[in-house]
């Protein structure tokens, strides 16, 4: 685990050093560089030492020096790959996973990633072909940003690494701002800056002679053909494959623990890890004094069952002091409020371990959100789900009172009716977006020239590039698979995995996600829809598996997100800070949005329910904090 950076096209050591130094938090243990003898290309590396602590330094090259590799992440099947490479005559002199990539590239070329089982962002210089290759893992666990111009090509693990190189790469991207206000995170492959992009998950980019000659997928999520399997066999296969994924992710030369919440995903991971770990496993749980957001009692039941070295940390956050630091860590506006507890649990875990396992991916693979139930139910309504009746459903959705929360039975029914007012292929996006919808964006003044170049309709119709790309990959699937696939391609890599990567790396902590093992992903995708969601209970297959490992009370507990008391914070601890930030006389919000409408939102003149009100205010607040902490902190306001 580490931070990587590089320059292609006339390398200046000081610039490369500035880029790499900006990533110090990702790798505080070591700092190394490699520059081509002719100055064509240069790599920088900040190391968080996890495997082969003595000899695993990067960048690493083959015996002839014509293949050079720098990478961020972990290759969990590196031991098996090393044995295979030795059997083919390769000489390996370290015990690191990096060296396996070097020699595997000699065997497979640009197809190297197809044999890797792990999380990774890789840069390879092939001196024989004079080509630079960038590769990102299948799910998007590890980030990789790049900026291309006629003169040079820059890449880094975080945008701050590219910004540190200087140059004119900080003009704001209007579409990204609008996308952020809808989704709560900037939709990839774009970023907040026009000239900076993120390499998409499961893709490889090849650059030669100063030009990107291709950027193509080496892996894509496939839901067909379906596996013919009984429910019992499906659970057994998940059990075996997940246990294998956990076992591989326990490989480390430093202490490993788990994030343990009160949910079944982290509970199953902890149960399997405690059984596979050679010693007593460390588990870390955080809680708030507000009982509504505290899952410590359920987590402790799991810890007690497996005799873990359990660490409970009660968070009494000074959010006014910590939020600017959190906002700055993300490089882009980031509006997922669970970034706050994620930041605190990572900070707590780093006191005890250097590597943690988590339950990320369980909801997106095994149908953990109630909107999946709504999607399947809508599909079964037959004639009631027709184009002729959509105006009726639309009228009902408009006439019915807005739900007072997101997780009530009435909220579910309201969401279902709203979905029936839309064509089936638009429901996944409409149900996923929980920020400013199309109407609210117009009300904010977003269609009045504040963001030039954005067509009317906003980011939640099928003209949005993110939605369009996802739908193109998911055509012809059943209602559940299309929604699972949509979330896998959108909110998982753009929001949830960004949150975990930044929160953990800000504290020099490595997070590993067994449920995002690509072999388990492929298994889950090809299971029949009827097994993945058969009734009104989310994650039925994982719940059945949980019964084997977890206390009954944990299995029966209602789903909770990793949440924080945001509404209270906005009204109490953060009230003055929120008002000052959003209504500042200078800055991005002042430049882009209708001030009268923003003031009305802060005062909730339209009577939004508390959950929806706090969500929208939080999005504006974090946009304003990012503007202060990142955009204006580096240099004067960049042009739109």
Point out which residues pair with 285 in neighbouring strands: 312
Which residue do the tokens 């069952």 mark?
A: 305
The contacts found for 340-343 with CB under 8 angstroms, 24 or more apart, are 340/564, 341/286, 341/288, 341/293, 341/315, 341/562, 341/563, 341/564, 342/499, 342/500, 342/503, 342/562, 343/503, 343/506
Is 2 catalytic? The answer is yes
Q: What token pair was written down for 293? A: 């957001």
Helix (H, G, I), strand (E, B) or coil at 253: coil
Q: Which of 2, 55, 108, 555 is catalytic?
A: 2
- CA terminus-to-terminus distance, the chain: 35
CA 416 to chain centre: 27
Measured CA to CA, the distance from residue 156 to residue 123 in angstroms comes to 10
CB 138 within 8 A of CB 121: no
Contact 548, 541 (CB under 8 A): no
The helix, strand and coil proportions of the chain, stated in percent and rounded to the nearest 5, come to 50, 15, 35
Contact 602, 640 (CB under 8 A): no
Dist. CA 236–CA 232, nearest whole Å = 6
CA dihedral 409, 412, 413, 418 (to 10 degrees): 160
| Residue 68 backbone dihedrals phi, psi, to 5 degrees | -125, 135
Specify which residues 532 forms β-bridges with: none
In Å, how far are 218, 261, 269, 311 from 285, measured between CA atoms?
A: 37, 6, 14, 6
The residues assigned a catalytic role are 2
């Amino acid at each position: 685990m580490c931070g990587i950076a590089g320059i292609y096209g006339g390398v200046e050591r000081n610039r490369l050093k500035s880029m790499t130094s900006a990533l110090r938090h990702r790798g505080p243990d070591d700092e190394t560089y490699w520059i081509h003898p002719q100055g064509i290309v240069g790599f920088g590396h900040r190391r968080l030492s996890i495997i082969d602590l003595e000899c695993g330094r990067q960048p690493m090259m083959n015996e002839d020096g014509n293949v050079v590799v720098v990478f961020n992440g972990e290759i969990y099947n590196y031991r098996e790959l090393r044995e295979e490479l030795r059997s083919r005559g390769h000489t390996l002199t370290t015990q690191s996973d990096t060296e396996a990539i070097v020699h595997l590239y000699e065997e497979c070329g640009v197809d190297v990633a197809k044999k890797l089982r792990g999380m990774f962002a890789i840069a390879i210089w092939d001196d024989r072909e004079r080509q630079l290759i960038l590769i990102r893992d299948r799910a998007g666990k590890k980030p990789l940003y790049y900026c291309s111009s006629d003169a040079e090509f820059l890449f880094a693990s975080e945008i701050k690494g590219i910004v540190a190189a200087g140059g004119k790469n900080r003009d704001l991207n209007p579409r990204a701002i609008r996308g952020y206000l809808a989704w709560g995170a900037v939709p990839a492959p774009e970023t907040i800056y026009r000239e900076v992009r993120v390499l998409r998950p499961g893709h490889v980019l090849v650059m030669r002679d100063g030009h990107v000659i291709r950027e193509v997928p080496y892996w894509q999520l496939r839901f067909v053909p379906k596996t013919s399997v009984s429910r019992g066999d499906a659970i057994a296969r998940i059990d075996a494959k997940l246990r294998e994924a956990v076992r591989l992710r326990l490989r480390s030369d430093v202490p490993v623990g788990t994030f343990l919440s009160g949910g079944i995903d982290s509970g199953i991971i902890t149960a399997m890890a405690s059984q596979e770990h050679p010693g007593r496993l460390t588990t870390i749980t955080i809680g708030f004094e507000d009982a509504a957001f505290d899952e410590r009692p359920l987590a402790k039941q799991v810890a007690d069952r497996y005799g873990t070295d359990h660490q409970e940390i009660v968070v009494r956050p000074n959010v006014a002091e910590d939020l600017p630091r959190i906002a700055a860590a993300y490089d882009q506006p980031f509006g997922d409020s669970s970034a706050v507890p994620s930041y605190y649990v990572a900070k707590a875990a780093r006191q005890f371990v250097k590597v943690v396992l988590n339950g990320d991916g369980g909801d997106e693979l095994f149908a953990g959100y109630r909107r999946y139930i709504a999607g399947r139910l809508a599909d079964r309504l037959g004639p009631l789900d027709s184009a002729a009746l959509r105006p009726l459903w639309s009228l009902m959705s408009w006439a019915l009172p807005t739900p007072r929360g997101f997780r009530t039975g009435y909220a579910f029914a309201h969401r279902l009716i709203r979905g029936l007012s839309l064509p089936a292929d638009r429901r996944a996006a409409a149900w996923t977006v929980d920020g400013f919808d199309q109407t609210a964006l117009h009300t904010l003044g977003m269609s009045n020239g504040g963001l030039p170049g954005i067509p009317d309709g906003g980011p939640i119709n099928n003209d949005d590039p993110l939605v369009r790309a996802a739908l193109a990959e998911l055509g012809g699937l059943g209602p559940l698979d299309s929604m699972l696939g949509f979330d896998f391609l959108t909110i998982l890599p753009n929001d949830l995995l960004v949150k975990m990567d930044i929160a953990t790396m800000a504290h020099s902590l490595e997070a590993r996600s067994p449920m995002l093992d690509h072999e388990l992903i492929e298994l889950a995708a090809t299971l029949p829809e009827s097994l993945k969601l058969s009734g009104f209970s989310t994650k039925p297959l994982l719940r059945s598996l949980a019964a084997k490992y977890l206390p009954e009370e944990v299995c029966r507990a209602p789903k909770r997100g990793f949440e924080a008391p945001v509404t209270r914070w906005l009204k109490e601890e953060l009230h003055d800070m929120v008002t000052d930030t959003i209504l500042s006389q200078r800055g991005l919000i002042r430049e882009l949005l209708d001030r009268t409408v923003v003031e009305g939102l802060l005062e909730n003149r339209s009577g939004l329910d508390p959950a929806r009100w706090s969500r929208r205010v939080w999005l504006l607040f974090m946009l304003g904090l990012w503007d202060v902490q990142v955009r204006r902190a580096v240099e004067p306001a960049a042009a739109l």
